[in-house]
Amino acid sequence: MKVYCCERNVTSLPLDVEPLVACTHCDLIHRDTALPAHGQALCTRCGAELYGAGTHSVDHALALALGAAVLCVLANLFPLIRFNLQGVDATTTIVGAVWVMAQRGMVVLAALLAWAAVLAPAIMLSGMLYVLLPLRLGRRMPGFARAMRLVRAMQPWVMIEVLMLGVLVSFVKLDKTGAVEATAGAWLGVALMLVLAGLGVAFEPRMVWRSHDALRVPVPPDVRAQACPDTASAAASDLAVCKVCGLISGAHGGGQRCARCGAALHLRQPQSLSRCLALLLTSLMVYFPANLWVIMETESAFSVRQDTIMSGVIFLWREGSQDLAVIVFVASVVVPLLKILALGVLLACVRWQWPVPRVQQARLYRLVEIVGKWSMLDLFVIALLTAVVDFGSMAAVRPGPAAIAFGAVVVLTMLAASAFDPRYLWDAQDSGLKGRHG
């Protein structure tokens, strides 16, 4: 159930009895409203989610985090796929695929795969357990805020669902050549994917911070008691919103740290637009080699086949897997280009005030954030095929030079999206902030 939060009218209630929430996407300040069970508070201006109903407890999040941690270990121990070619068996785990890539000299690619499929989930889950276990026992742990920041930083890089789709695509590609079956690791991976999805909902930072605050005496100073002018956005009221824990503090010209979690406070992310533009231009430069060069080489006893991303899509289509061909085409060709174009349009909207309705701009940014990681699909497929199809001169798969360029496009566009501060989109509308773009 979705509930639109009330926009704060400063004159209606004294600030010291009215908890405030600022939208991290457009900076509008709202009154903290109680929600029905499973409700979701949305920003009245841009539609972004402000917070959930808080129906999840530390116990609930902890149970899911423990389950995910166990599944994460098991899914990495067991092979994902078994492939049989003329009586010869081959299997691979994800760590095995990373190892094979590294041995073939594709160290950068191997590191990227290890990061997205193993390290980022492991670090995120460790951070969550470090935070939740002591909370459950009613203890305060040193480094709580740092662990929360780490969890938040890891979340966009956890790509188990993309890996599982990669297993499915590899399955279809191998099916025509020999006997292929999904093994324990693949099923454990699917279970891990589902538990992580549940954990993503249950681990509400707001709920975790409140549970932590309840143990803490005294509660850090809050801006609620401060007077602020009757303006729409936090920045226009000289209030800074912590991106990690959501606490609103007086900005006092900037440069200080959040009283609750210690994160650096900025009215807007410093150099957001110039960093985003630089990353975007670099990703556009690597986008062309990524699509034109060979991304995968398949060698058999009789022939050597070289595929670009597009010829791989056509191959899937001709083999009768039209649905997967469409998925790979969207993930590998459309999504990266869409991200580059969309961020380019958003930068132009901020710089030259392009006449795109602001709510549409906000939606476009949220779309870019959501679809980002799915471009990793092709890289997971290549890694799995490289590891499992390794029969010497009989059959072998090798990654081509485009694979590294493609990996660079994925990483650069993800970094560009996170560098862009969407609150700039609304600044021209909010009075009092003109001339602060950085």
| Of 263 and 384, CB closest to Zn ion | 263
| Tokens representing residue 248 in the block | 């609103």
| DSSP string for residues in 349-405 | HHHH--S--HHHHHHHHHHHHHHGGGGGHHHHHHHHHHHH-B-TTSEEEEE-THHHH
Which helix (DSSP H) or strand (DSSP E) does residue 99 occupy? helix 94-103
3 state SS of 234: coil
* Torsional sign, CA 19, 24, 30, 31: negative
CA dihedral 322, 327, 331, 332 (to 10 degrees): -20
Q: Output the smallest distance, CB 258 to Zn ion, in A.
A: 3
| Of 149 and 398, CB closest to Zn ion | 149
Q: Output the smallest distance, CB 103 to Zn ion, in A.
A: 43
Q: Output the smallest distance, CB 247 to Zn ion, in A.
A: 5
Would you say how long the chain is, in residues?
438
Residues that bind Zn ion (CB under 5 A): 23, 25-26, 43, 45-46, 48, 242, 244-245, 247, 258, 260-261, 263
Q: Output the smallest distance, CB 190 to Zn ion, in A.
A: 35
3 state SS of 49: strand
d(CA 44, CA 47): 6
Rounded to 5 degrees, what are φ and ψ at 28?
-70, 140
Q: Output the smallest distance, CB 358 to Zn ion, in A.
A: 10
Cis peptide before 357 (omega within 30 of 0): no
Q: Output the smallest distance, CB 365 to Zn ion, in A.
A: 11
